[in-house]
């Protein structure tokens, strides 16, 4: 990834969803790079919470509902961000089925609220709106999705994120392009890593079951997803934000996913996870339980590779190994902050080594 560490020093950065799993990792990484980070999010929604384990709080000026337009606008005008990462979302497929209107409200109207606040803010230069790999119309063809493929969304969560893409495109063409403010959407695959305790996510569900000596119930073991460590897309988002700062014109959307050969079934990932966790029982379903979910979903990240220098760094085996070792170590009393910083430094160090090898080569 073409990402200049010195670029971030002293930059005013707003992270929405900063109390969530990805937002907590991103906030920590940005602060390590010297950025002045502010947040905008609900209070942590899980117990444990990575945000709290990393030293965050349950209250404060950044604890704001993205649906509260006045509060969002006030916060944006007060913090005057130069760079914005919009991660705040209702991010679960099954929760979208249970609460579809709330999902649309958070993901569509919440995105519009933020962009409308940024429309009247001074100093903003770069905006990355994070959506999902599920924004595409999925006809289950077995082909990897490219950024030019049509948007869709069978379920409320996926459709809400596709709608957020349209909202972002509208604000870019109507308001931001003329002011030379870069705005792009980022579509990432399934992320895993230490510190995720959300419900209805594969690795957190497995950790909860196995730590409690219970059998993990697996609904769709044959579903294929583009798994990646959480640091992979976050590095992509930061590289994209830097590019938008430098070249705001003509950049619209990017996929951030692993190599095609790294996509794997739920069952395969769980077998790796069980081995690195040190044991755990599971019962594999036949794929018919619960509401509809995509069976095959893979991203083509060639555009990000060509334009941004995006290059996945950890293979799936390393990703699962690190994730399960993180949970095991944290459960044995190691500090989440130390574990996260260790992963960030290993990840960034590998990037530096690869860049030096390419330059020599």
Q: Give the pLDDT confidence of 221-240 residue by residue, as tens digits.
A: 988 888 999 999 999 999 99
Residues 196-203 have a mean pLDDT of 93
Residues 201-218 have a mean pLDDT of 94
- 148-190 pLDDT, tens digit each: 999 998 899 999 999 999 999 999 999 999 999 999 999 998 8
User: Which of the pair, 248 or 356, is modelled with greater confidence?
Assistant: 248
| Residue ranges making up the domain that contains 293 | 5-345
Q: Is residue 94 a part of any domain in this protein?
A: yes
Q: Which of 53, 60, 46, 7 has its CA nearest to residue 28?
A: 53
Q: Is residue 76 a part of any domain in this protein?
A: yes
Q: Is residue 218 a part of any domain in this protein?
A: yes
Mention every residue, 6+ apart, whose C-beta is less than 8 A from residue 253: 147, 165, 184, 185, 186, 187
- 254-297 pLDDT, tens digit each: 999 998 888 889 999 999 999 999 889 999 887 656 665 666 78
**What is the model's pLDDT at position 358?**
42
Residues 69-98 have a mean pLDDT of 96
What are the angstrom distances between the C-alpha of 339 and each of 57, 128, 196?
19, 27, 13
Alpha helices in the chain (DSSP H): 21-32, 50-53, 69-79, 93-98, 100-104, 110-119, 156-171, 202-211, 231-246, 266-277, 302-308, 316-331, 336-360
Among 97, 104, 136, 157, the active-site one is: 157
**What is the model's pLDDT at position 3?**
59
Mention every residue, 6+ apart, whose C-beta is less than 8 A from residue 123: 12, 80, 81, 82
The CA radius of gyration of the chain, in Å to the nearest whole number, is: 19
Catalytic site residue 296? no
Q: How confident is the model at residue 142 (pLDDT cuts 50, 70, 90)?
A: confident
Total domains in the chain come to: 1
Percentage of the chain lying above the pLDDT 70 cut: 93
Q: Is residue 276 a part of any domain in this protein?
A: yes
Q: Is residue 172 a part of any domain in this protein?
A: yes
- Quick check: pTM over 0.85? yes
Q: Is residue 358 a part of any domain in this protein?
A: no
Q: Is residue 328 a part of any domain in this protein?
A: yes
Across the chain, mean pLDDT equals: 92
Looking at residue 27, which CATH number applies to its domain? 3.40.50.720
Q: Is residue 258 a part of any domain in this protein?
A: yes
| Alpha-carbon gap, residue 61 to 173, rounded angstroms | 31
User: Can you state the angle between helices 266-277 and 202-211, rounded to 10 degrees?
Assistant: 40
132 phi and psi angles, rounded to 5 deg = -170, 165
- Given a cut of 90, whether residue 220 has pLDDT beyond it is no
């Amino acid at each position: 990834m073409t990402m200049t560490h010195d670029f971030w020093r002293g930059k005013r950065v707003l992270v929405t969803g900063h109390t969530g799993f990805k937002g907590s990792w991103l906030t920590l990484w940005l602060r390590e790079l010297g950025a002045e980070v502010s947040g905008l999010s609900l209070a942590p929604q899980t117990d444990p919470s990575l945000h709290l384990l990393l030293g965050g709080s349950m209250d404060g000026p950044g604890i704001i509902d993205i649906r509260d337009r006045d509060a969002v606008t006030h916060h944006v005008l007060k913090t005057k961000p130069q760079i914005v990462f919009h991660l705040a979302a209702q991010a679960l497929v099954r929760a979208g089925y249970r609460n579809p209107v709330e999902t649309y409200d958070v993901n569509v109207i919440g995105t519009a609220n933020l962009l409308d606040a940024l429309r009247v803010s001074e100093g903003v230069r770069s905006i990355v709106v994070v959506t999902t790999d599920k924004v595409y119309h999925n006809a289950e063809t077995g082909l990897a999705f490219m950024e030019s493929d049509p948007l869709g969304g069978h379920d409320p969560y996926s459709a809400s994120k596709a709608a957020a893409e349209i909202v972002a495109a509208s604000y870019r063409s109507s308001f931001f392009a003329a002011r030379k403010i870069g705005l792009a959407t980022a579509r990432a695959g399934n992320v895993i890593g230490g510190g995720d305790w959300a419900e209805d996510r594969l690795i957190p569900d497995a950790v909860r079951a196995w730590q409690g000596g219970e059998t993990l119930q697996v609904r769709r073991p044959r579903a294929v997803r583009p798994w990646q460590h959480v640091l992979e897309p976050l590095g992509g988002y930061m590289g994209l934000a830097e590019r938008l700062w430098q070249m705001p014109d003509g950049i619209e959307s990017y996929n951030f996913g692993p190599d095609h050969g790294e996509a794997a079934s739920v069952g395969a990932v769980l077998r790796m996870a069980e081995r690195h966790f040190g044991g755990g029982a599971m019962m594999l379903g036949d794929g018919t339980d619960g509401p509809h979910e995509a069976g095959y979903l893979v991203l083509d990240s060639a555009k990000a590779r060509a334009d941004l220098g995006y290059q996945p760094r950890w293979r799936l085996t390393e990703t699962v190994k690190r994730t399960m070792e993180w949970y095991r170590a944290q459960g044995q009393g190691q500090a989440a902050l130390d574990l996260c910083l260790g992963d960030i430094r290993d990840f960034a160090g590998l990037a530096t080594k690869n860049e030096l090898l390419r330059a020599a080569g």
